[in-house]
Structure 1
């Protein structure tokens, strides 16, 4: 046990003292905040208004578009119905206007449904075309209703908006979007595990490749068993990663606190308003917010947090053993690419299953099966836990996860034992299988 602890200490100190580790630990949060601020600045910038020429021979639609100028700053519609279409097309070619909307004259209003044309140098966005089609369709619908002697105002008043309220079988009120919040919580934790595995699993692999390339491993392996060396590297690197994540969290919270103080944000000011001064809409928003808070508190918070820690450790250890075995089998990171794809695929599959199966049916067959498979359970099970998972399913999933981890470590150690002393040869899957059967 003392040998493993020495290896853990050596790996942890080596990672923490690394200049790139120190720089990225303190620079990454600042870069992240800078990127968010830059994106917010770009989103706040007003886009250039695009001028659209309208040639309406029917005279029925031009006012519908020119009136929209007050509502939509992205597009400005200009009435050029008296100008020849050929001259307008030349203006489009010379990029004087963004596009030209041509509405021909027609005796039957229904013919215009398929005869209206938009001319431009580049393909317009789908959203823009849908807005134009909606404007034209609404006008044609009004004309058809008028011709049919139907009261458009009465039809508009007859349209109903249904708002279904939610309630639990116990009689408590519920709110919409709770499932989306649950999947966001589970998905957030699962995403953290996936990123930690990819980032720090690669660190384990690079560490093994570096020691193998420098021939340091030949000295170390003479006094340490491959299994002990692998376990020490995995745990030491994970502790360095946890320390880095902790520092990021502290810096992030400090930046948020400093920003709230600098901009004078008072999160509790809205709740201090007397009820008699609040409008009915404000009261409704407050009540809805309280329902959401109640729903969040009803979540299995303890199970989520404990599950995150357990699956975080198990998932990282499992995949790091794969990364360590790959590092022992190759001489450089270029040769490792062929072996990394089978490792990344289960992680990507976990995310796909989580967001497309768990959110629709968290207790369905697909979700349950993939939450039991060790390669996918760290992410899929964390997405299921907020929906309420029986403890026996979690127990089976965790048992399979750690049992698979020890099995993979045992197999990886056999690859490690042979691969760390192999130089100058790019291994194949067939040779890896041969190494597993090696007993010498």
Structure 2
């Protein structure tokens, strides 16, 4: 293995000196910052825009129920016909016209309420209007049955079930979902890195194979050494690019925030508006306690273990998949021929993201979540979704965590052995599209 460091160095330098690598390393942070600034601008512009809706109410119901809010503004029309109201709303470029006909019974009136607009209205706008109608009909019907006003007010109160474990310790609703999202973000990074830089390994193998350079290299280097060197060298180049992106994008975001006079949280879309801050400050004792419990739950996440696990699963997951990519690159003559092999490679990654979210959200210790967090091709993503809950004592059992890593190591050794067999034969084959049956036959060659 004395030549392995030379191969790694060659692959690393070949990648970082590539013009496209340099251009993307420079442009990507600029694009990220530009997108962040664009999203900030569009979000701010969208929040400032109000939908103006005209109201023509010909009856006695719903006189004071439609009130202006942050997104809707209502303009009443009086003493005009429906046709004139529609013409006026269209001429003044209103978002739409809400028509409330005359009637003696509120149920009949509600059934004939109509909304006119130039284009189909958004679901959120319709839901908001229908909610007002539904609540008012319900309130009037209850009043007709003699229900007092104080009872009506109490009926609108929300009730939440208190959740705690058997020892009496309070538990929070939705905390499993929040933790799964945190772990899923780490898993998503692993998936993107595997797809992007695994494809780099495959293209590198194809380029050397089609240029016949590989015939010269293979005369002095073992195929296994060459394959492993490509995998490690490309991964180091990718990590270098990621680190440059993180540092430069963070610096550019700081400069942009300083220039625009906004906070970093506002650029990310997470700044709390002043009125929301006032609401938080004026919270009742129970609400403040709940916020503190959520913060304590997030702070109690074993971030050190989570980050260390991320590095372990990142390395093992990338080595497994990049070995498969290298074997595919050695088996074909051009990138077009790789399409028949790509779906089975990407499918476990996509499955891990979607099945992982659905299973871990509902039951992080259920059989589906456990199975996918142990299966080597999906465990780098699904296990990271479960790990924010901790290891042991209510979190991921220690044996599952250890078994997951052990299975990854064993799978890596097995896949590297299989990939090296395919790589050794396929790297010198030209002009023929390989099939799964033929690649299986290569494994039997001594």
Deviation at 1:21, TM superposition (A): 1.5
Structure 1 residues 122-137: aligned runs within 5 Å: 122-137=119-134
User: Which whole-Å CA distance do the structure 1 matches of 2:353 and 2:155 have between them?
Assistant: 45
TM-score, with structure 2 as normaliser: 0.85
Superimposed CA distance per residue, residues 167-222 of structure 1 (whole angstroms, 9 cap, x where no aligned partner): 56666665554323321221111111111101100110111111112111111112
Could you say which residue in structure 2 is the equivalent of 1:110?
Answer: 107
Deviation at 1:417, TM superposition (A): 2.1
| Long gaps (5+) in structure 1 | 268-277
1:424 aligns with 2:425: no
Could you say which residue in structure 1 is the equivalent of 2:57?
Answer: 56
Deviation at 1:150, TM superposition (A): 2.9
| Long gaps (5+) in structure 2 | 266-279, 390-394
Structure 1 residues 48-87: aligned runs within 5 Å: 48-65=49-66, 68-69=67-68, 71-79=69-77, 82-87=79-84
Query: Is contact 1:358–1:383 with CA below 8 Å preserved after alignment?
Result: yes
Could you say which residue in structure 1 is the equivalent of 2:203?
Answer: 206
Choose 393-402 or 361-370, whichever is displaced more: 393-402
Choose 197-206 or 135-144, whichever is displaced more: 135-144
User: Which whole-Å CA distance do the structure 1 matches of 2:370 and 2:281 have between them?
Assistant: 46
1:182 aligns with 2:179: yes
User: Which whole-Å CA distance do the structure 2 matches of 1:243 and 1:64 have between them?
Assistant: 59
Deviation at 1:393, TM superposition (A): 1.3
Deviation at 1:266, TM superposition (A): 11
User: Which whole-Å CA distance do the structure 1 matches of 2:297 and 2:62 have between them?
Assistant: 49
How many residues get paired?
A: 425
Could you say which residue in structure 2 is the equivalent of 1:305?
Answer: 307
Distance 1:43 1:416, change over 3 A: same
Could you say which residue in structure 2 is the equivalent of 1:13?
Answer: 13
Distance 1:310 1:235, change over 3 A: same
Structure 1 residues 307-386: aligned runs within 5 Å: 307-386=309-388
Query: Is contact 2:97–2:117 with CA below 8 Å preserved after alignment?
Result: yes
User: Which whole-Å CA distance do the structure 1 matches of 2:51 and 2:36 have between them?
Assistant: 27
User: Which whole-Å CA distance do the structure 2 matches of 1:279 and 1:35 have between them?
Assistant: 33
Distance 1:252 1:286, change over 3 A: farther
Deviation at 1:424, TM superposition (A): 3.0
Superimposed CA distance per residue, residues 232-263 of structure 1 (whole angstroms, 9 cap, x where no aligned partner): 11011111111222222322443455567664
Distance 1:283 1:153, change over 3 A: closer
Superimposed CA distance per residue, residues 27-65 of structure 1 (whole angstroms, 9 cap, x where no aligned partner): 312221211111001111156544434333324225433
1:217 aligns with 2:214: yes
Superimposed CA distance per residue, residues 269-300 of structure 1 (whole angstroms, 9 cap, x where no aligned partner): xxxxxxxxx96649878766654443334323
Choose 113-122 or 5-14, whichever is displaced more: 113-122
Query: Is contact 1:92–1:121 with CA below 8 Å preserved after alignment?
Result: no
- Equivalent residue of 1:2, what SS? coil
Could you say which residue in structure 2 is the equivalent of 1:411?
Answer: 418
Deviation at 1:429, TM superposition (A): 2.8
Query: Is contact 1:318–1:408 with CA below 8 Å preserved after alignment?
Result: yes
Distance 1:170 1:297, change over 3 A: farther
Distance 1:198 1:85, change over 3 A: same
Deviation at 1:324, TM superposition (A): 0.8
Could you say which residue in structure 1 is the equivalent of 2:274?
Answer: none
Could you say which residue in structure 1 is the equivalent of 2:4?
Answer: 4
Could you say which residue in structure 2 is the equivalent of 1:272?
Answer: none
* Aligned residue among 246, 250, 253 for 1:249: 246
Choose 339-348 or 174-183, whichever is displaced more: 174-183
Could you say which residue in structure 2 is the equivalent of 1:191?
Answer: 188
Query: Is contact 1:308–1:382 with CA below 8 Å preserved after alignment?
Result: yes
- Equivalent residue of 1:334, what SS? helix
Distance 1:290 1:256, change over 3 A: farther
Superimposed CA distance per residue, residues 77-120 of structure 1 (whole angstroms, 9 cap, x where no aligned partner): 4425x433345556678795443333333333222342222233
Query: Is contact 1:201–1:323 with CA below 8 Å preserved after alignment?
Result: yes
1:42 aligns with 2:42: yes
Could you say which residue in structure 1 is the equivalent of 2:277?
Answer: none
CA RMSD of aligned residues (A): 3.0
Query: Is contact 2:90–2:96 with CA below 8 Å preserved after alignment?
Result: no
TM-score, with structure 1 as normaliser: 0.86
User: Which whole-Å CA distance do the structure 1 matches of 2:49 and 2:155 have between them?
Assistant: 40
Structure 1 residues 248-287: aligned runs within 5 Å: 248-255=245-252, 258=255, 263=261, 281=283
